Amino acid sequence: MGEQVTGPPLGAPALLFDLDGTLIDSVYQHVLAWQEALTAVGIELSVWKLHRRIGMSGGLFVTALLRETGGVLSPGQIRELNLAHAEAYGRRRDTVRPLPGARELLAALTERGVKWAIATSGLALAARPALDMLGLPADTPLVTRDQVRHAKPDPDLFLAAAERIGVDIGSAIVVGDSIWDLLAARRARALGVGLLAGGYGRDELERAGAYRVYADPADLLAHLDEVGVRGVTDWATDPAGED
């Protein structure tokens, strides 16, 4: 040992982040925006059921909810519903903040040469303002729902994100707050890490396959070595990178 004294360790995994509930604190606003949009077209559903579907593809989300109500909507109506949700969320956007540690975590990864990208079931229209809020440049690797055929829990978003930054999905770590992120991670053969910041319980995330669960980005940053990213948390105390 002791040969490698600086720089990122060989084989360091890349991180693929979900956005809502993972980097920004927007889940509850999305939930009530969906309630507003659905109520406007006469669909009444308990709010906790909307919460548990957030993070899925918008199309799957509506289909899953209609299964509960027994209703049927045309593709045009589903599109309208998605637009109504985007409008209702837009009115709530000024209450959305970065989650604790989100900026610091991304900055620490960048500084140490660990590759990362963001992959969201949301549209580019909604994701772009979030980059500004996080203080990220416009060329941040970002894959949105508009760019893939199927959103979560299909693996497409994370596969596209890994390809975008030129890393092997098999050595990537998906970080997300919802079971849809973790199911998509397993289908993509990536390691999944859960965050409580979206309001799911720890057990729900572990059952969906989370290798490890943290409170929020700040908590993940403090424990990056547990998920296999060396040299970030060690850096201050152990700059030689020894075992």
State which of residues 12, 23, 29, 126 lies at the interface with a copy of itself (CB under 8 A). 29
Scanning 5-13, 115-123, 168-176, 191-199 for contacts with a copy of itself by CB under 8 A, the matching segment is 191-199
Q: CB of 232 within 8 A of CB of 114?
A: yes
Q: How far is the CB of 137 from a copy of itself (least distance, A)?
A: 25
Q: Which DSSP category does 225 fall into? A: G
Q: How far is the CB of 208 from a copy of itself (least distance, A)?
A: 11
- Would you state the structure tokens that stand for residue 146, as one six-digit string? 């508009």
Scanning 121-129, 140-148, 157-165, 197-205 for contacts with a copy of itself by CB under 8 A, the matching segment is 197-205
State which of residues 14, 51, 117, 241 lies at the interface with a copy of itself (CB under 8 A). 51
Regarding 25 and contact with a copy of itself (CB under 8 A), the answer is yes
Q: Measured from the CB atom, is 47 or 240 closer to a copy of itself?
A: 47
| Contacts made by residues 120-125, CB under 8 angstroms, sequence distance 24+ | 120/18, 120/19, 120/20, 120/144, 120/145, 120/157, 121/55, 121/56, 121/57, 121/58, 121/145, 121/151, 121/152, 121/157, 121/180, 122/19, 122/20, 123/86, 125/86
Which are the contacts of 76, defined by CB distance < 8 A and separation ≥ 6? none
Q: Measured from the CB atom, is 69 or 77 closer to a copy of itself?
A: 69
State which of residues 8, 59, 90, 199 lies at the interface with a copy of itself (CB under 8 A). 199
Q: CB of 21 within 8 A of CB of 177?
A: yes
- Would you state the structure tokens that stand for residue 217, as one six-digit string? 């980005």
For the beta carbon of residue 5, count every other beta carbon within 10 angstroms.
9
Using the structure block, give the residue that is written with the tokens 């772009």.
Answer: 128
In angstroms, the Cα distances linking 136 to 102, 114, 140, 236 are 11, 16, 7, 24
Regarding 100 and contact with a copy of itself (CB under 8 A), the answer is yes
Regarding 200 and contact with a copy of itself (CB under 8 A), the answer is yes
Q: How far is the CB of 156 from a copy of itself (least distance, A)?
A: 27
Number of residues counted as binding a copy of itself (CB under 8 A): 28
Q: Measured from the CB atom, is 95 or 110 closer to a copy of itself?
A: 95
For 232, phi then psi, to 5°, come to -100, -60
Q: Measured from the CB atom, is 54 or 162 closer to a copy of itself?
A: 54
Q: Which residues bind a copy of itself (CB under 8 A)?
A: 25, 27-29, 31-32, 35-36, 39, 44, 46-48, 51, 95, 97, 99-100, 196-204, 216
